[in-house]
């Protein structure tokens, strides 16, 4: 799903379920928040609602990270590279 990138790219705070290797895309507490289970999600929701400065700081860092590393252009470049092309060659 591209939901995470849409939220981050628009400057929103993203809280999502932690899955294997997700930290290679976005870091917990730096770009977004990751929860382990529903109880942890509720705990983090309460925490971040009570900490607007932390939530805003993470949202801003998440947006900068998404725009720098995870745009549609980045995804297209990866797809093309897998076929032996580069984005610069196509354009």
Q: DSSP class of residue 44?
A: H
- pLDDT classification of 64: cutoffs 50, 70, 90: very high
Does the domain spanning 3-90 belong to CATH 3.40.47.10? no
Q: What is the pLDDT of residues 15-49, one digit of tens each?
A: 999 999 999 899 999 999 999 999 999 999 999 99
**Residue 11 pLDDT exceeds 90:** yes
**Residue 91 pLDDT exceeds 70:** no
**Residue 1 pLDDT exceeds 80:** no
pLDDT for 90 equals: 65
Looking at residues 67-91, what average pLDDT do you find?
A: 82
**Which tops the pLDDT comparison, 10 or 76?**
10
17 phi, psi to nearest 5 deg? -70, 130
How many CB atoms neighbour CB 47 within 10 A? 13
- For the chain, what is the radius of gyration of the CA atoms? 15
């Amino acid at each position: 799903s591209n939901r995470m990138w849409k939220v981050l790219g628009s400057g929103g705070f993203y809280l999502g379920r932690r899955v294997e290797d997700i930290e290679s895309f976005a870091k917990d507490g730096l770009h977004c928040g990751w929860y382990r289970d529903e109880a942890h999600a509720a705990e983090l929701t309460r925490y971040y609602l009570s900490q607007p400065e932390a939530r805003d700081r993470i949202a801003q860092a998440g947006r900068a990270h998404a725009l720098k590393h995870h745009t549609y252009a980045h995804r297209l470049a990866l797809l093309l590279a897998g076929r032996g092309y580069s984005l610069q060659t196509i354009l």
